[in-house]
Amino acid sequence: MDLGAPSRSALTQAASEAHCRPNVKCYHGKPAANISHMPEILDAVLAGAPGDDLAKMPLPDSYRAALVKKDEVGIFADVPSPEKDPRRSMHVEEVPLPEMAPDEAYVAVMASAINFNTVWSSVFEPLPTFGFLERLGRESHWGARHDLPYHVIGSDASGVVLRVGSAVRSWKPGDRVTVHCNYVDDQDPMAHDDSMLASNERIWGYETNFGGLAHLALVRANQLMPKPAHLTWEEAACNGLTNSTAYRMLVSRNGARMKQGDIVLIWGASGGLGGYAVQYVLSGGGIPVGVVSSPEKVKLLEELGCRAVIDRKAAGYRFWKDEHTQDESEWRRLGKDIRALVGEDPDIVFEHPGRQTMGASVFVAKRGGMIITCAATSGYMIEYDNRHLWMKLKTIKGSHFANYREAWEANGLICRGAIQPILSATYPLEQVGEAAYQVHRNLHEGKIGVLCLAPSQGLGIDDPELRARIGEDRVTTFRRLGA
């Protein structure tokens, strides 16, 4: 599904008419004389203005952003979890431009993407994110900026650098970038081995304010990465979070260190994480066994080159007899189905559904195998039969996003065309609630993109020759075959 974004004239109108008028919801306290400069900035970006020109353009005092509100965290109090609707809690409004710290940059966001953490933020589960902002607010002078009655969310972005702080060395205005979401304090000693081990590591746009689902974003310079030149803005924006996470889980020495010939069971293999995991296993010489939940998704995986696919809905696995009791015979049935497809048990299980699948994942992993987990979508209080873990010398390993180097390497593979974006649909920023709803209800495949400043899809390709060499069909597999 591809829905248009507001035109440039609509943007101008929104800026000049809606900005700070008394009848318009706005977090900006300043008078209406404060005109937004976003339309001029957008024109300059679209015209490919040099960085020096961009650096001279005035920044707006406020910008449009998708946000959730502190005074609304109770709106779903009586609503069962699956029925909580992001369309009720996500708003698109004007917010004031925050001050920039010396190690930060302002990015004009051309496109962003929905991640599952956007869904968590919007349904205030497992916790409202305002607690994270309050903690960050207590940490330092610059941290205090984040503790606000609204939270601008979003943990992915592609765009153009508009300004850099005085301590930034590697980036300058005009740079075309993607943003990864690891928000790390480099004064924490632990950050200097693996920054994911830093005690105050945070996910930008989830545990910090000023995220990517907006016309402007405030990021640390060490979140910036080059934009893949052959991709559109929306294709470039969809990779940062889940591609880097899948890379760490499977490829990095901090993850499962997959090797050639490894069999890897991938839950949600056409989802945001799984769509990259399948590609990493294939390109690393492994054998992916993808689990999905519809014939359309089976077809999509086959198109990606994943030959062994299980439709979990068609198979009708019932790992839980009831809320408290698991059924080992169902784990066994899954194990048999995997062996029937690839002849052996998985060396690695790529886990994220959590409570519903973890018992089965521990059971089906090979003797000495690894279950690598980064999430628990269906519940985080996990149960598995420990005998299968210790007697067969299996390992459960936790993984969380990626450090800068891992994100950079994963981005490099996208830049070279070795890994493809998995964008299946794009929504305008004004419909961000609907986009999050699609992900919450598992109605999507791959990633859903969001056009922020980009006036339409298909813009931002700087290297059409590389795109042609990689092949349009490969770059757009999920869009062609997605629902």
Q: How far is the CB of 278 from ligand NAP (least distance, A)?
A: 12
Interface residue with ligand NAP, options 64, 151, 215, 297 (CB under 6 A):
297
Longest dimension (CA), the chain: 71
Q: Give Cβ neighbours of residue 169 (< 8 Å, ≥ 6 apart).
A: 221
Q: How far is the CB of 434 from ligand NAP (least distance, A)?
A: 15
Strand partners, 91: 67
Q: Closer to ligand NAP at the Cβ: 150 or 267? A: 267
CB-neighbour burial class of residue 466 (10 A; exposed 0-12, middle 13-18, buried 19+) = middle
**Residues 197-256 close enough to bind ligand NAP by CB under 6 A:** 241-242, 245
Q: Is 273 in the site for ligand NAP (CB under 6 A)?
A: yes
Kind and range of the H or E run holding 396: strand 395-398
Interface residue with ligand NAP, options 401, 404, 408, 478 (CB under 6 A):
401
Q: Is 352 in the site for ligand NAP (CB under 6 A)?
A: yes
Q: Is 442 in the site for ligand NAP (CB under 6 A)?
A: yes
Span of 70-78, 271-279, 405-413, 473-481 interacting with ligand NAP by CB under 6 A: 271-279
User: Around Cβ 3, how many Cβ atoms within 10 Å?
Assistant: 14
Q: Is 304 in the site for ligand NAP (CB under 6 A)?
A: no
Q: Closer to ligand NAP at the Cβ: 143 or 353? A: 353
Q: Closer to ligand NAP at the Cβ: 377 or 457? A: 377
Interface residue with ligand NAP, options 353, 417, 455, 482 (CB under 6 A):
353
Span of 166-174, 229-237, 375-383, 429-437 interacting with ligand NAP by CB under 6 A: 375-383
- Total residues contacting ligand NAP by CB under 6 A comes to 30
Q: Give Cβ neighbours of residue 89 (< 8 Å, ≥ 6 apart).
A: 68, 69, 72, 75, 76, 122, 123, 124, 433
Interface residue with ligand NAP, options 272, 421, 428, 449 (CB under 6 A):
272
Q: Which residue has the tokens 């593979």?
A: 413
Taking the C-alpha atoms of residue 429 and residue 449, their distance in angstroms, rounded to an integer, is 9
Q: Tokens standing for 116?
A: 């599952």
Q: How far is the CB of 346 from ligand NAP (least distance, A)?
A: 15
Span of 37-45, 69-77, 169-177, 285-293 interacting with ligand NAP by CB under 6 A: 285-293
Q: Tokens standing for 397?
A: 């390993």
Span of 62-70, 90-98, 157-165, 286-294 interacting with ligand NAP by CB under 6 A: 286-294
Nearest Cα residue to 218 out of 342, 119, 108? 108
Q: Is 292 in the site for ligand NAP (CB under 6 A)?
A: yes
Q: Which amino acid is at 215?
A: H
Q: Is 155 in the site for ligand NAP (CB under 6 A)?
A: no
Taking the C-alpha atoms of residue 461 and residue 459, their distance in angstroms, rounded to an integer, is 6
Kind and range of the H or E run holding 404: helix 404-416
Q: Is 293 in the site for ligand NAP (CB under 6 A)?
A: yes
Interface residue with ligand NAP, options 118, 239, 252, 377 (CB under 6 A):
377
Taking the C-alpha atoms of residue 84 and residue 37, their distance in angstroms, rounded to an integer, is 36
Interface residue with ligand NAP, options 62, 357, 403, 420 (CB under 6 A):
357
Q: Closer to ligand NAP at the Cβ: 171 or 267? A: 267
Do 351 and 371 form a contact (C-beta atoms < 8 A)?
Answer: yes
Q: Tokens standing for 41?
A: 């900035």
Q: Is 356 in the site for ligand NAP (CB under 6 A)?
A: yes
Cα torsion for 271, 274, 278, 283, to the nearest 10°? Answer: 110
Q: How far is the CB of 293 from ligand NAP (least distance, A)?
A: 3
Sign of CA dihedral 20, 23, 29, 32: positive
Residue 66 sits at φ, ψ, to 5 deg, of: -85, 130
Q: Is 267 in the site for ligand NAP (CB under 6 A)?
A: yes
Q: How many residues does the chain have?
A: 483
- Using CB under 6 A, list all residues that contact ligand NAP: 115-117, 241-242, 245, 267-268, 270-274, 291-293, 297, 312, 352-353, 356-357, 374-375, 377-378, 400-401, 439, 442
